[in-house]
Amino acid sequence: MAPSEVVVRGVTVRAGDRVRLRPRRRADIMDIALDGKVATIEAIEQDFEGNIHFAVTVDDDPGRDLGVARQIAHRFFFRANEVEPFSPPAENG
């Protein structure tokens, strides 16, 4: 059973939290295109070997609602070492 939360770089993250994507593999154009994008964790998954993966939707994806509905091509999977907890810049007031 996958955990409901995971500590990433000293910060506890869970479904609904936002992260910045930092793909490590650079295996294809999608890794390059998604690098630096802000995404929302939709689910935390665990494979048979115990590795943790975050299912995310990219916040500025116009088809984001398809990813939330678990449709193909709008939901991406990243390992814990490929995401950074995201906190938006503080507003100057």
Q: How far apart (Å, rounded) are the C-alpha atoms in residues 35 and 76?
A: 12
Task: Sketch the domain layout of the chain as residue ranges.
Answer: 5-85
Q: How far apart (Å, rounded) are the C-alpha atoms in residues 89 and 50?
A: 34
Per-residue pLDDT of 77-90, as tens digits, reads 999 999 999 986 66
Q: Residue 29, CB half-sphere, CA atoms under 13 Å: how many?
A: 0
pTM to 2 decimals?
0.84
Domain 5-85 has CATH 1.10.3470: no
Secondary structure of residue 63 in the 3-state scheme: coil
Q: How far apart (Å, rounded) are the C-alpha atoms in residues 62 and 49?
A: 34
Question: Residue 88 has what DSSP assignment?
Answer: P
Q: Is the pLDDT of residue 38 over 60?
A: yes
